[in-house]
């Protein structure tokens, strides 16, 4: 027995060394890192209505330096306003890890973290991981507790590259409740967007380095509340996750102004649900026609693929790997919204219930977003980039001269120090009557 343990240990070390020696130069994932567009006035997308959108953001979780990221100074309150959600293209050199971090702090505790709670990283500046609960009801009988401890970055053990990482949302069924995961954008005034999330539901058998389960519910009986150990191997089950959870990717104002992508783990693994809300008439007790679609997509959701939702002026469109799957004109959202990603289960008819002790994991490689905001001061009628000649201006707004470089190239310091500078830049930002320099984000 001792010998076995020892030789296992040696094998692990050996493999680890070989892997890192061979693979240092390889890209961390099947897809190359996202190129951040530069020098664009606006962003267009593929599809029947190319856009356009004023803002661009990408959160790429595929090669996050966990050591560096583990140093978000949480004693500084995060109260980012409009002007602090910088466009990525404007925030050059402001990679997330260069945010408000104090390098060196984490190293003393754990020289090589294998997982890291999202709320301790600088991604938490733009997204907030949720901590709230929803009591059971007759139609949703299981208490649901969203926990910040269910959202974390992990090393990707399927990749040979030791730097490969991804984001994980985890849900676990305990005997008295289900522990669930949700992240929401801090800004809530997104007004139309194209959202892309590269994700997969982890098949059973996946190895996930993860933070320990947190004790969310006081009347905790250790016998009845199994703690999921670190590095747990999920038992094999036809390479699918267990039944009973719903993964959601959606825009949200309220339950009647919402556009959804939903994946139910009890469904066949090619099936997804698209809807604009409300999709159910509770008074009449039937589904609302044309509000929702059950789609069978070309790839199973247990493999990495890019799920896309376009929220346009009078049309919602859904894509997988840029292949159109569905379009709806029913109740396209008309109010400013936030973006939400979650993984949940309430024992109701929609999600079904999970088996006590089961955990389900959703991996996310990146989130990419082009969007407008209701706070954008100036809204011109849509001018397609091809018709788009330099507009007649008076100098009363924007920089009228198309050859004059934008002032927004000026850089501000990250974090609190740069706040005044960012506010100033926001107030003085050029307001474009039309878009002179569009970038198509699907051709980057």
Ligand X SMILES: *[C@@H]1O[C@H](CO)[C@@H](O)[C@H](O)[C@H]1NC(C)=O
Sites of contact with ligand X (CB under 6 A): 52-54, 73, 75-76, 102, 105, 114, 157, 192, 207, 209, 231, 289-290, 312-313, 372, 376, 379-380, 382, 392, 394, 396
Distance CA 438, CA 211 (A): 42
Least spacing, CB of residue 141 vs ligand X, in Å:
32
Least spacing, CB of residue 81 vs ligand X, in Å:
18
Least spacing, CB of residue 374 vs ligand X, in Å:
10
Please, which residue, 117 or 354, has the CB nearer to ligand X?
Answer: 117
Please, which residue, 89 or 246, has the CB nearer to ligand X?
Answer: 89
Please, which residue, 202 or 263, has the CB nearer to ligand X?
Answer: 202
Please, which residue, 105 or 236, has the CB nearer to ligand X?
Answer: 105
| DSSP letter (8 states) at residue 330 | T
Please, which residue, 132 or 382, has the CB nearer to ligand X?
Answer: 382
Residues with Cβ within 8 Å of 311's Cβ and at least 6 positions away in sequence, in order, are: 192, 193, 194, 195, 251, 259, 332, 333
Beta strands in 48-164 (DSSP E): 51-53, 55-60, 115-117, 127-129, 133-134, 144-146, 151-155
Please, which residue, 237 or 379, has the CB nearer to ligand X?
Answer: 379
Least spacing, CB of residue 305 vs ligand X, in Å:
24
Least spacing, CB of residue 107 vs ligand X, in Å:
13
Which residue number is nearest to ligand X in terms of Cβ? 394
Is 83 in contact with 179 (CB distance < 8 Å)?
no
**Which residues lie across from 251 on neighbouring strands?**
259, 339
Please, which residue, 266 or 408, has the CB nearer to ligand X?
Answer: 408
Least spacing, CB of residue 274 vs ligand X, in Å:
14
Please, which residue, 173 or 196, has the CB nearer to ligand X?
Answer: 196
Distance CA 294, CA 306 (A): 18
Q: Which residue has the tokens 């924007």?
A: 398
Sign for the CA dihedral angle at 393, 394, 395, 396 comes to: negative
Which secondary-structure segment (H or E) carries 69?
helix 66-69
Structure tokens given for 176: 């008295």
Is 293 in contact with 287 (CB distance < 8 Å)?
no
31-64 residues labelled b (16+ CB within 10 A) or e (exposed): eeebebbeebbbbbbbbebbbbbbbbbbbbbbbb
Is 303 in contact with 30 (CB distance < 8 Å)?
no
Distance CA 172, CA 377 (A): 44
Least spacing, CB of residue 285 vs ligand X, in Å:
17
Distance CA 279, CA 295 (A): 15
Least spacing, CB of residue 367 vs ligand X, in Å:
19
């Amino acid at each position: 027995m001792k010998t076995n343990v020892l030789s296992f240990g040696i094998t692990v070390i050996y493999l680890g060394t070989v892997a890192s020696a061979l693979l240092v130069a390889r890209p961390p994932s099947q897809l190359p890192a996202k190129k951040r567009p530069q020098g664009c006035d606006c962003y267009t997308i593929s599809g029947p209505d190319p856009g356009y959108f004023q803002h661009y953001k990408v959160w790429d979780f595929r090669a996050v330096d966990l050591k560096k990221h583990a140093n978000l100074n949480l004693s500084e309150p995060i109260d980012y306003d409009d002007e602090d959600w910088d466009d990525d293209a404007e925030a050059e050199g402001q990679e997330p890890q260069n945010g408000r971090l104090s390098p060196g702090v984490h190293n003393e505790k754990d020289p090589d973290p294998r997982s890291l709670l999202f709320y301790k990283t600088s991604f938490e500046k733009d997204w907030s991981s949720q901590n709230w609960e929803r009591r059971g009801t007759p139609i949703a009988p299981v208490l649901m507790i969203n926990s910040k401890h269910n959202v974390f970055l992990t090393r990707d053990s399927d990749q040979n590259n030791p730097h490969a990482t991804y984001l994980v949302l985890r849900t676990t069924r305990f005997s008295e409740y289900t522990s669930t995961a949700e992240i929401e954008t801090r800004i809530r005034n997104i007004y139309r967007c194209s959202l892309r999330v590269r994700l997969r539901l982890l098949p059973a058998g996946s190895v996930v380095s993860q933070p320990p389960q947190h004790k969310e519910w006081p009347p905790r009986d250790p016998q009845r509340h199994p703690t999921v150990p670190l590095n747990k191997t999920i038992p094999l089950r036809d390479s699918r996750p267990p039944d009973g959870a719903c993964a959601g990717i959606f825009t949200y104002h309220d339950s009647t102004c919402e556009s959804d992508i939903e994946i139910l783990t009890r469904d066949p693994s090619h099936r997804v649900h698209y809807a604009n809300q409300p999709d159910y008439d509770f008074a009449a007790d039937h589904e609302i026609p044309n509000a929702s679609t059950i789609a069978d997509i070309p790839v199973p959701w247990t493999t990495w693929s890019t799920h896309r939702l376009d929220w346009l002026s009078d049309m919602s469109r859904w894509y997988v790997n840029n292949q159109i799957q569905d379009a709806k004109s029913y109740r396209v959202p008309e109010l400013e919204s936030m973006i939400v990603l979650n993984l949940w289960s309430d024992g109701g008819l929609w999600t079904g219930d999970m088996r006590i002790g089961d955990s389900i994991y959703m991996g996310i490689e990146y989130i990419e977003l082009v969007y407008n905001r209701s706070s954008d001061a100036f809204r011109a009628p849509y001018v397609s980039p091809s018709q788009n000649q330099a507009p007649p201006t008076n100098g009363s707004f924007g920089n009228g001269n198309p050859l004059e470089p934008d002032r927004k190239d000026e850089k501000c310091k990250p974090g609190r120090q740069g706040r005044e500078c960012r506010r100033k830049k926001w107030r003085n930002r050029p307001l474009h009557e039309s878009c002179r320099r569009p970038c198509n984000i699907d051709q980057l």
